[in-house]
């Protein structure tokens, strides 16, 4: 059996899928080590995994605060806390990457090691794989990551290259000539969604295999208790609405207040689900209750509607449960995900500028349409065939048996058409860069969604 080393960063949505994959590999008899933030040690140990931490509890608490997404007092108008120089120095500097390199390398001394890592943030894992000639697979967590990295190459790739090569030199690796060539050189890259959800992976320089959503099911599923108090409430209040912004503090200030007001106006029984009570109004409407935790996947089939932030875990769970989704997206991948859910016909979305209670209530009512409910049931059937965890575990096991998966720089790299100049003249590059600097995170995300729509209309 192999030595599987899994590397990831950030919050629940970027870590829990890897815990599930690691659990499946462990059940197949492999040794599995998860390397991530200390907050996830308990859940990793419960899954039977060995564990190494990047940080201390105090350092992780600081990370959670810094990833809120709120604008910082001393920043540019369109700059957010996770974009500033202090954040980048603390979590993305070469010094940090070298510390991570040493932690990962300690876990990779066996010849039968396979590395599985989150793309982009797991730079140190790429270096370890190349240095010690190990198989490496990278994982795309959501479709927007692909477009954001292509955009990053176009706008910042050349600027970031000297820093990358300085890091490579520190571990005695030769320089590379392209950030994107290096980033896309893993012999296996997996997308944690099915092809019917999105086909954006076709734009990446190397092949990406869509394996499906990383949902637990059947023997894989970790059973969690639903509180008795909630069971009693649910029996009296069938088909409630759930409002959740996920497990992160990276949420717009108006998300909870506006959606709670809308649900209060509706009179529908509503559950607000967040571990951060400070985001909520001091007094909730009579028809609204709050829980800091409920096993969402277990209660979803009992819901009438879910209002959420647009995270991949929440939307895939709702697809599996067959419930309509109202997404209030801001930041990172969420606007793109909201657009995809709308295209599937199982939900709709509102951008923050439209987060007024009356507009949210109107959309809640629209989502009770019979056609939307029929579409939801269609995707319940599709989701029955979703075996993302099994698929990725199968592929990782295959990698342990074949040397062709050992990481090396892709000598066959071709510049993606998007970046080759066919669509954009060199003269327009300064304008594009200037525009990017003036856009907020939300505006960038909306721009990516609109560009995606335009390209699809041409196909």
Question: Considering the domain boundaries, does residue 61 fall inside one?
Answer: no
Least confident of 105-114, 359-368, 434-443: 434-443
Considering the domain architecture, whether residues 14 and 152 belong to the same structural domain is answered as yes
Long-range contacts of 12-15 (CB under 8 A, 24+ apart): 12/246, 12/247, 12/248, 12/313, 13/141, 13/246, 13/247, 13/248, 13/311, 13/312, 13/313, 14/118, 14/121, 14/141, 15/40
With contact defined as beta carbons under 8 Å apart, do 7 and 125 qualify? yes
Q: How long is the chain?
A: 459
Considering the domain architecture, whether residues 17 and 32 belong to the same structural domain is answered as yes
Considering the domain architecture, whether residues 351 and 205 belong to the same structural domain is answered as no
Neighbours of 166 (CB within 10 A): 11
Neighbours of 67 (CB within 10 A): 20
Considering the domain architecture, whether residues 277 and 370 belong to the same structural domain is answered as yes
Q: What is the pLDDT of residue 222?
A: 64
Domain ends where: 360, 383, 406?
383
Considering the domain architecture, whether residues 182 and 139 belong to the same structural domain is answered as yes
The arithmetic mean of pLDDT across residues 16-29, rounded, is: 98
Considering the domain architecture, whether residues 447 and 395 belong to the same structural domain is answered as no
Considering the domain architecture, whether residues 237 and 376 belong to the same structural domain is answered as yes
Q: What is the total count of domains within the chain?
A: 3
Tens-digit pLDDT profile for residues 156-178: 999 999 999 999 999 999 999 99
Considering the domain architecture, whether residues 411 and 432 belong to the same structural domain is answered as no
CATH number at residue 191: 3.40.50.2000
Question: Considering the domain boundaries, does residue 70 fall inside one?
Answer: no
Considering the domain architecture, whether residues 280 and 164 belong to the same structural domain is answered as no
Considering the domain architecture, whether residues 322 and 444 belong to the same structural domain is answered as no
- How would DSSP label each residue in 222-246? ---PPPHHHHHHHHHS-S-EEEE-T
Total-model pTM = 0.89
Considering the domain architecture, whether residues 309 and 192 belong to the same structural domain is answered as no
Task: State which residues form the domain around 440.
Answer: 421-458
Question: Considering the domain boundaries, does residue 49 fall inside one?
Answer: yes
Considering the domain architecture, whether residues 406 and 276 belong to the same structural domain is answered as no
Joined tokens for residue 404 = 């062709």
Question: Considering the domain boundaries, does residue 288 fall inside one?
Answer: yes
Tens-digit pLDDT profile for residues 236-282: 999 999 999 998 888 898 999 999 999 999 999 999 999 999 999 99
């Amino acid at each position: 059996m192999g030595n599987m080393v899994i590397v990831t960063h950030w919050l629940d949505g970027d870590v829990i899928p890897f815990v599930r994959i690691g659990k499946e590999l462990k059940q197949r008899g492999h040794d599995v080590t998860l390397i991530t933030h200390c907050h996830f040690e308990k859940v990793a140990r419960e899954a039977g995994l060995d564990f190494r931490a990047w940080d201390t509890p105090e350092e992780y608490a600081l990370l959670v605060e810094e990833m809120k997404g709120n604008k910082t007092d001393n920043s540019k108008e369109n700059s957010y806390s996770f974009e500033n120089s202090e954040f980048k120095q603390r979590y993305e500097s070469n010094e940090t990457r070298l510390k991570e390199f040493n932690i990962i390398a300690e876990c990779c001394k066996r010849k039968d090691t396979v590395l599985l890592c989150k793309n982009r943030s797991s730079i140190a894992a790429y270096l370890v794989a190349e240095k010690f000639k190990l198989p490496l697979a990278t994982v795309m967590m959501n479709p927007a990551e692909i477009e954001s990295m292509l955009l990053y190459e176009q706008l910042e790739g050349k600027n970031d290259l000297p820093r990358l090569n300085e890091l490579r030199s520190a571990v005695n690796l030769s320089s590379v000539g392209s950030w994107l060539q290096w980033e896309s050189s893993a012999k296996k890259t997996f997308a944690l969604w099915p092809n019917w959800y999105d086909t954006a992976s076709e734009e990446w320089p190397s092949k990406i295999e869509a394996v499906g959503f990383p949902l637990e099911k059947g023997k894989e599923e970790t059973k969690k208790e639903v509180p008795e108090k909630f069971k009693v409430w649910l029996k009296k209040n069938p088909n409630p609405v759930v409002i959740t912004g996920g497990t992160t503090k990276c949420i717009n200030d108006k998300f909870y207040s506006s959606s709670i007001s809308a649900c209060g106006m509706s009179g529908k029984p509503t559950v607000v689900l967040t571990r951060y009570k400070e985001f909520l109004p001091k007094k909730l409407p009579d028809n609204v209750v709050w829980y800091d935790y409920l096993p969402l996947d277990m209660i979803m089939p009992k819901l009438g509607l879910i209002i959420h932030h647009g995270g991949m875990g929440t939307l895939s769970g709702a697809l599996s449960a067959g419930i309509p989704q109202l997404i209030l997206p801001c930041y990172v991948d969420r606007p793109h995900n909201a657009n995809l859910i709308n295209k599937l016909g199982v939900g709709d979305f509102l951008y923050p500028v439209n987060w007024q209670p009356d507009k949210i209530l109107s959309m809640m009512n629209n989502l009770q349409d019979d056609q939307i409910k029929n579409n939801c049931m269609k995707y319940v059937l599709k989701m029955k065939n979703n075996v993302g965890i099994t698929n990725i575990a199968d592929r990782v096991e295959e990698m342990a048996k074949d040397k062709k998966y050992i990481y090396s720089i892709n000598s066959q790299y071709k510049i993606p058409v998007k970046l080759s100049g066919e669509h954009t003249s060199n003269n327009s590059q300064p304008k594009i860069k200037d525009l990017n600097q003036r856009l907020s995170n939300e505006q960038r995300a909306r721009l990516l969604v609109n560009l995606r729509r335009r390209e699809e209309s041409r196909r």
